[in-house]
Amino acid sequence: MTHLYIKDIQPGAQINDIYLVTQPILRNTTRGDLYIAMFLSDKTGKMNCRMWQATEQIYQQIPAEGYLRVRGKSELYQGAMQIIINDLQVVDPAEVNPADYMPRTEKDVRQMYEQLLEILAAIENEPLRNLVSAFVQDKELMKSFCTAPAAMQMHHNYLGGLLEHTLNMLNVACALFPLYPKIQKDIVIAAVFLHDIAKTRELSYTVGIGYTDRGQLLGHIIQGAELVNQKAAALAAEGKPVPQPILDSILHIIISHHGVPEFGAVKVPATPEAYMVHYIDNLDAKMNQTAALIENDPGEGNWTAYQRSLETKLYRNRVLDTE
C-alpha cells in the first residue's frame, strides 16, 4: 500500500498508515474524560493528532518516540490540519525504513560541508584558525554537525539542517563583509561556525527530533560555551593558547546570538560582530521558517492560518508571478 505522506493529507482523508510518533501526552477534557495528544510525522512534515476517549492502558503502550499504525480521519481545526485517531497499533522499528520518516535537507550534505570548510580556511588569525581546526578535526562531532537539525520546530528542523543553516549564515556574512570594512571578519566566521555547535548535544535525532535531558536542562548556548572552553583548554595544554580577549569575543557571540533574554540570550550583543551574527542568524531562520510555513499550510487563498510563532498570518500570494 502506498504511504500517505503528511504533506499530502487533505481534510476529510481516511487515514490507515504508519507514522513516527513523538511527544504523546495523556490529558483530561473539560468534562474529565481522557484523551491523548501527540505528533505524527514522516519525512515530509509533522501533524498534530488527538485520540479521544482514550485510556491509561492505550497511553502506556505508545512509545515516547517510535512508530504507530493509525486509523482515523483528518480534519481542519482552527485553520490547521490534525488527525483524529480511532485506533492505533505499535509498529516494530525494524519493520520501517527510518529514512522515510525523518525529514532531511534537500541539499547535498557533502557538498555543503566542503563549501563550509573552504570558508573556514579563509580565517587568517592563527589562534582562531587553531580553535576552528580543533572542532573540524573532531570527526565524531563533525559527523553529528552534518546530521543534526538546527532546531526542533522553528527553522531548519530536519536532518542536515544545522549544516545548511550554518553555511547559509557564512555565505551571508561573506556577502556583507565588503559593506562593513571595519568588522573583524575572522571573529564573525569563527563565531558563525560555532554559534549553534552544541545543537549536536541539545537535540536528539535518531528517532524523531527532540531534546536530550542535558539539552533540556542547559540548552545549546551553555553547552556551546562549554565546548569552546574545552577545545581552548586543550589547545593551551598543547602550547597553542587562544588569547583571552579573542576567546571572550567568541564566547560573547555564542551567549548573545539570540539577541534578548526573552529569546534565550544570556547577554545582549555588545560588539559589532555579535550584532552581525545575531541578525544574520535571525534572517536565515525567518527565511526558512516562513517558506516552510507557507508551503505546508493546508488552507487555500492568499493567507495562511495564524502563525503563533510569528504572531501573524503570512501573505503567500506571489504578486510578481501574477503579471
Q: Which domain holds residue 54?
A: 6-100
Q: Are 175 and 113 contained in the same domain?
A: yes
pLDDT at 286: 94
Place 154 in a pLDDT band, splitting at 50, 70 and 90: confident
Q: Are 206 and 136 contained in the same domain?
A: yes
Q: Are 113 and 237 contained in the same domain?
A: yes
Residue keyed to cell 563550509: 116
* DSSP letter (8 states) at residue 265: -
Question: What sign results for the dihedral spanned by CA atoms 117, 153, 195, 211?
Answer: negative
Q: Is the pLDDT of residue 249 over 80?
A: yes
Q: Are 116 and 265 contained in the same domain?
A: yes
In this structure, the number of other CB atoms found within 10 A of the CB of residue 151 comes to: 22
Q: How many helices and strands (H and E) does the chain possess? A: 10, 7
CATH of residue 115's domain is 1.10.3210
Total domains, the chain? 2
pLDDT at 298: 66
pLDDT at 155: 85
Within a domain: 245: yes
CATH of residue 80's domain is 2.40.50.140
Q: Residue 185 half-sphere exposure, CB side, CA atoms within 13 Å?
A: 19
Q: Are 135 and 234 contained in the same domain?
A: yes
Q: Are 117 and 83 contained in the same domain?
A: no
Q: Are 48 and 74 contained in the same domain?
A: yes
Domain-ending residue, one of 57, 73, 100 = 100
How confident is the prediction for the chain on average, in pLDDT? Answer: 91
pLDDT at 151: 85
**Between 238 and 105, residue with greater pLDDT:** 238
Q: Are 170 and 276 contained in the same domain?
A: yes
Within a domain: 47: yes
What the block records as the C-alpha cell of 104 is: 532531511
